[in-house]
Chains A and B, each alone.
Chain A
Amino acid sequence: MSGEQGTSKETASVPEDVVEVVEQCLAGDQAAMADLVRRYQGQVFGLCYRMLADRQDAEDMAQETFVRVLRSLERWDNARAFEPWLLAIAGNRCRTLLATRKRRPDTSPIVADVPARGYDAEDQDHQALAEEVSLGLADIRDEYRQAFLMFHQHELSYGDIAESMNCPLGTVKTWIHRARRELIDYLRSRGIVEETSHAV
């Protein structure tokens, strides 16, 4: 953990190169569009994948997110951080898909991302924890999951998350606390306990 304060972190000023790339995109520059996608595709895919727990769906939603972003770039206020705005669009796309999925019978089992290589015991423990966290996350409410991932995975501040999810900061805080609590309870119920030494 970085020790960075999540609640008091101000909205970061937008890097000039991002503003420049966005302006070039608005002018129709294809190279700038490619640069924008390449720069953020990992983060967008990461959020989509953890939201949806399905690689193919996550790729589709990441793609959909960038198409929407490029189409609505003029609506982005360049006084505000770009990443929360981008991730909010990705999160909303994912929640829409999840809502559609809930109306259909579930056909895609949640498969944790297991690398096709051998790894030692420590790696195996880490991998087991990652798989269990994936499964635990899939069980919590979509809004909680999105807020939780934006805070812990993408390290956005509460203020940025509240703004991008268009809800009060206190609500975001509550969602993240509940997500943590539910996730910890799930891991406890699965017997996933990390042995730590306590300074007693």
Chain B
Amino acid sequence: MRCEAFEDRLQHLLDERQLPEEDVALADHAAACPTCREVLDTQAGLFDTVRDWSVSNLEVDLVDRVLVRAAAASASTAPRRSWWPAHWRSSSVRWISIAVAAALLAVAWKGYSSYGPNVALPPTPAAPQPDTIEPGNPSGPQDLLPLRSFDFGPLARTAAEDLGSRLALGVHYIHRGQAVVADVILGHFPRKAEEPNARSSSLLLDVAVGAVVMS
């Protein structure tokens, strides 16, 4: 037997949890090879020593400490009470609701734009300048749309004015009022800080808030 074969056989016997010092082939080689004999002598008792460690002299009882810490950990990870109704806490329901709100917004926009197919859409409402606001007539978003120049019938004009003012009001909330409206709502929303799409979720929720306001 060569030294490499000795090493392999030694490892194999240890893998099989057998006693290498009782193996005749190893002993034969060890008798002729001082290095391998030293290896064989050294490993004797080593693994019994390690196995004896399995009964460790733990001087303290961990039970009380562990139970106190486990109770504290479970208290800190208990689900928070949410302001939102239970069905809104499900992310799929939340996304579906947002998608429906976005679809409503799109339909409303389409409907509004179809009132005047041959007429260019009115310009996007600009923020009122302080010096153009007349006293007693605070500039609401509905005043910013120059719908009077369109040639609508009375019924269509009323509907267009109504829809336009709602749309403008929605846009107004999305761009200006969201800091007040959406943040109050989002402050109660159980959003995780590490959630990667939290930002886009917030934006979509803002859109949904705008759509709700419009409707």
- Interface residues in chain A, defined as those with a beta carbon under 8 Å from any beta carbon in chain B: 1-7, 30, 33-34, 37-38, 41-43, 45-46, 49-50, 55, 59, 62-63, 66-67, 70-71, 113, 115, 126, 129-130, 133, 148-149, 152-155, 158, 173, 176-177, 180-181, 183-184, 187-188, 192-196, 198-200
Known: A45-B58, A196-B40, A199-B24. A153 touches B51 (CB 8 A): yes
Q: Quick one: CB contact mask for B39-82 with A, threshold 8 Å, 1 for yes?
A: 11111111111111111111111110111011001100100000
Q: Quick one: CB contact mask for B14-57 with A, threshold 8 Å, 1 for yes?
A: 11111101101001101100000111111111111111111111
Known: A6-B15, A46-B55, A113-B57. A200 touches B44 (CB 8 A): no
B57 pairs with A152, CB closer than 8 A: no
B17 pairs with A184, CB closer than 8 A: no
Majority secondary structure, B binding face: helix
Task: Identify which of A63, A130, A181, A193 contacts B41 (C-beta below 8 A).
Answer: A193
B63 pairs with A154, CB closer than 8 A: no
12 A/B residue pairs, CB under 8 Å, sorted by A = A1-B18, A37-B66, A45-B58, A67-B73, A113-B57, A126-B45, A149-B50, A155-B17, A155-B54, A176-B15, A193-B38, A195-B41
B67 pairs with A30, CB closer than 8 A: yes
Complex CA distance for A187 and B46, rounded to whole angstroms: 9
B32 — nearest CB in chain A belongs to which residue?
A200
> Chain B residues with Cβ under 8 A from A149's Cβ?
50
Residues of chain B at interface, number, CB under 8 A: 50
- Interface residues in chain B, defined as those with a beta carbon under 8 Å from any beta carbon in chain A: 7, 11, 14-19, 21-22, 24, 27-28, 30-31, 37-63, 65-67, 69-70, 73-74, 77
B62 pairs with A188, CB closer than 8 A: no
B49 pairs with A133, CB closer than 8 A: yes
Complex CA distance for A126 and B73, rounded to whole angstroms: 42
> Chain A residues with Cβ under 8 A from B11's Cβ?
177, 180
B30 pairs with A3, CB closer than 8 A: no
> Chain B residues with Cβ under 8 A from A33's Cβ?
66-67, 70
Complex CA distance for A140 and B29, rounded to whole angstroms: 28
Complex CA distance for A196 and B51, rounded to whole angstroms: 19
